[in-house]
């Protein structure tokens, strides 16, 4: 659909447009501009409050928490809107209606409406156009208003206090997922500074919930709650809810239990405050989970986090973990899941790492965490599915030139070699390889073990001497991690129809 393609292209051009410096953002200028932009597209403060928002921040797990909340509310018959970032395959995943990415037709219609409204009014304002994330945030509020959603679940982009989403003056409730160190250029480099930013989404008289946090971070969150006159509650562990023991969560991994508990409290609080038949809570917040809660938690899907995709003799374990804390959780999850698979297959499997990190994150620190998995090979690839023409323009990252991406994969490989060397298991070039795309890496490593995958790869790889199909060797377990964008590039090949 050319109109959709044009919309994505126009939106992508905003990626390189720097509307504000980090300093201006921290002075609150971004929020002033955001209010101005919303005014220009006729979305008022009242319109936003009428969306009955649940606002969620945190360093890790905020997306999963939002996905659980959205799923629970939908099972209660609520028409939901859900705004999140980043996307894996297509930008429309960021704006969901009733759990599904908005259709290409609706995305196209609303994008051009907003684009036009901003264009008409640009002469009257100093800031003519919004930057990429601001544009998407404006679009989300505009769409949720016009689609008349009953609840809007809004995930903070970065931080909280000065995030573009923090124009919500009266949310129904707020949540803070796990705190950690990330995006230090905007948020500061200590847990206290980061907690201060996250606590910036609290609003006077609005209930707020968080999970157990590091001591320093919790102290600051409590201080922020006092400033806003907010009752901040700490959620119980998921296993302590009556009737939780026989419930399998839709998102796998132990770390998801706290996210599920946070989501349960947020959803219940929302149902209470909008008088939509909540479960009454006891002082310790524990209550038996009724059927809509159980179904919502069980059927929740959140791609690219703890996701397993199996082919005949290759299993892919995908998790976009990109902080120390999340990678530690993801590694534990991979070790458990892969050994369960070995147990069922009654044979040992060959473990392979596919890795990339972006921005200024410390690859070596991440690779130290991954080392104990015992990978026989490691693949270092940029977040590029293929160099063949693609139907997904949404994947284009104009901010990071290809040369930088290529430079990065060599640096990552060298960091891995250092880690292996220091652990007394030096690795050679056959065991630590760099590739220019995911398709190239996959065609090399899977060696035609699966016919379906093999056919897909043949049209996408740039390798001339394509290996003949051979079915041999152990079952492969490929762990893809370090970047959500890398996971997106893998999904483009493994599950391109994920949004259909």
Per the annotation, does 444 bind a ligand? no
Q: What gap in Å lies between CA 204 and CA 171, rounded to an integer?
A: 10
Backbone phi, psi, residue 106, to 5°: -70, -40
Terminal C-alpha separation, the chain: 15
Reported as half-sphere exposure (CB side, CA atoms, 13 A), residue 438 has a value of: 24
Backbone phi, psi, residue 351, to 5°: -100, 130
Return the pLDDT at 406: 92
Q: How far is CA 50 from CA 46, 53, 95, 163, in A?
A: 6, 8, 18, 20
- How many of the other CB atoms lie within 10 Å of CB of 111? 25
Q: Which two tokens stand for residue 202?
A: 């609290």
Residues in CB range of 105: below 8 A, 6 or more apart: 1, 4
Return the pLDDT at 394: 78
Return the pLDDT at 464: 60
Pair 82, 99: CB distance under 8 Å = yes
The hierarchical CATH code for the domain 2-299 is: 3.40.1190.10
Q: Which of 377, 318, 321, 329 is nearest to 353 (CA)?
A: 377
Could you list the pLDDT tens digit for every one of the 500 residues in the chain? Answer: 899 999 999 999 999 899 999 889 888 999 999 999 999 999 999 999 999 999 999 999 999 999 999 999 999 999 999 999 999 999 999 999 999 999 999 999 999 999 999 999 999 999 999 999 999 999 999 999 999 999 999 999 999 999 999 999 999 999 999 999 888 888 899 999 999 999 999 999 999 999 999 999 999 999 999 999 999 999 999 999 998 989 999 999 999 999 999 999 999 999 999 987 667 777 789 999 999 999 999 999 999 999 999 998 999 999 999 999 999 999 999 999 999 999 999 999 999 999 999 878 899 999 999 999 999 999 999 999 998 877 778 777 878 888 889 999 999 999 999 999 999 999 988 899 999 999 999 999 988 788 889 888 888 887 665 555 555 689 999 999 999 999 999 999 999 999 98
Q: What gap in Å lies between CA 3 and CA 389, rounded to an integer?
A: 19
**Bridge partners, residue 60, by sequence:** 178
- How many of the other CB atoms lie within 10 Å of CB of 210? 28
**Bridge partners, residue 82, by sequence:** 96, 153
Backbone phi, psi, residue 60, to 5°: -130, 140
Each domain of the chain, given as residue ranges in start order, spans 2-299, 307-494
Q: What gap in Å lies between CA 93 and CA 100, rounded to an integer?
A: 8
Reported as half-sphere exposure (CB side, CA atoms, 13 A), residue 93 has a value of: 21
Return the pLDDT at 471: 57
Per the annotation, does 430 bind a ligand? no
Return the pLDDT at 397: 80
Per the annotation, does 92 bind a ligand? no
Q: What gap in Å lies between CA 114 and CA 121, rounded to an integer?
A: 11
Per the annotation, does 305 bind a ligand? yes
pTM: 0.96
Return the pLDDT at 429: 84
Q: What gap in Å lies between CA 32 and CA 302, rounded to an integer?
A: 32
Pair 55, 200: CB distance under 8 Å = no
Q: Which two tokens stand for residue 265?
A: 């409290």
Q: Which two tokens stand for residue 201?
A: 């989404």
Return the pLDDT at 470: 58
Give the full edge-to-edge strand order of the sheet including 232-234: 100-101, 95-97, 80-83, 151-155, 53-57, 173-176, 208-210, 232-234
Q: What gap in Å lies between CA 427 and CA 419, rounded to an integer?
A: 10
Per the annotation, does 96 bind a ligand? no
Pair 139, 114: CB distance under 8 Å = yes
Q: Give the CATH superfamily of 307-494.
A: Mur ligase, C-terminal domain (3.90.190.20)
Q: What gap in Å lies between CA 254 and CA 124, rounded to an integer?
A: 52
């Amino acid at each position: 659909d050319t109109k959709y393609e044009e919309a994505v292209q126009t939106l992508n051009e905003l990626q390189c447009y720097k509307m504000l410096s980090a300093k201006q953002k921290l002075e609150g200028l971004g929020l002033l501009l955001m209010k101005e932009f919303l005014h220009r597209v006729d979305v008022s403060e009242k319109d936003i409050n009428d969306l009955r928002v649940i606002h969620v921040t945190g360093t890790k797990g905020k997306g999963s928490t939002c996905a659980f909340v959205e799923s629970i509310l939908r099972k209660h018959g609520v028409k939901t809107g859900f705004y999140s970032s980043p996307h894996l395959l297509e930008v429309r995943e960021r704006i969901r209606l009733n759990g599904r990415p908005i259709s290409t037709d609706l995305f196209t219609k609303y994008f051009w409406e907003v684009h036009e409204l901003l264009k008409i009014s640009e002469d009257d304002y100093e800031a003519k156009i919004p930057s990429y994330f601001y544009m998407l945030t404006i679009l989300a509020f505009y769409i949720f208003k016009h689609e008349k959603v009953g609840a809007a679940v809004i995930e903070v982009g970065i931080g909280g206090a000065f995030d573009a989403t923090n124009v919500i003056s009266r949310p129904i409730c707020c949540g803070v997922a796990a705190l950690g160190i990330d995006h230090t250029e905007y948020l500061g480099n200590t847990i206290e500074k980061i907690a201060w930013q996250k606590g910036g989404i609290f609003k006077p008289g609005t209930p707020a919930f968080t999970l157990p946090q590091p001591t320093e971070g919790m102290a600051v969150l409590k201080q922020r709650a006092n400033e806003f006159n907010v009752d901040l509650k700490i959620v119980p562990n998921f296993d302590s809810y009556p009737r939780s023991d026989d419930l399998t969560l839709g998102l796998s991994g132990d770390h998801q239990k706290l996210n599920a508990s946070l989501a349960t409290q947020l959803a219940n609080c929302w149902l209470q405050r909008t008088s939509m038949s909540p479960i009454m809570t006891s002082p310790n917040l524990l209550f038996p989970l009724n059927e809509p809660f159980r179904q919502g938690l069980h059927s929740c899907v959140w791609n690219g986090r703890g996701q397993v995709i199996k082919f005949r003799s290759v299993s892919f374990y995908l998790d976009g973990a990109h902080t120390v804390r999340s990678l530690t959780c993801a590694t534990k999850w991979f070790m458990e899941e892969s050994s369960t698979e070995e147990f069922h297959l009654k044979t040992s499997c060959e473990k392979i790492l596919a890795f990339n990190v972006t921005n200024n994150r410390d690859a070596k620190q991440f690779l130290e965490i991954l080392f104990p998995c015992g990978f026989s090979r490691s693949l270092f690839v940029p977040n590029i599915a293929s160099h063949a023409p693609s139907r997904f323009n949404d994947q284009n990252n104009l901010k990071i030139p290809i040369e930088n991406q290529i430079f990065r994969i060599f640096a990552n490989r060298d960091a891995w070699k250092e880690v292996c060397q220091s652990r007394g298991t030096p690795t050679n070039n056959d065991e630590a390889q760099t590739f220019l795309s995911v398709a190239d890496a996959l065609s090399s490593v899977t060696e035609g073990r699966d016919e379906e995958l093999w056919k897909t790869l043949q049209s996408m790889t740039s390798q001339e001497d394509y290996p003949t199909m051979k079915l041999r060797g152990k079952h492969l377990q490929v762990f893809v991690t370090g970047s959500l964008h890398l996971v997106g590039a893998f999904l483009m090949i493994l599950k391109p129809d994920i949004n259909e």
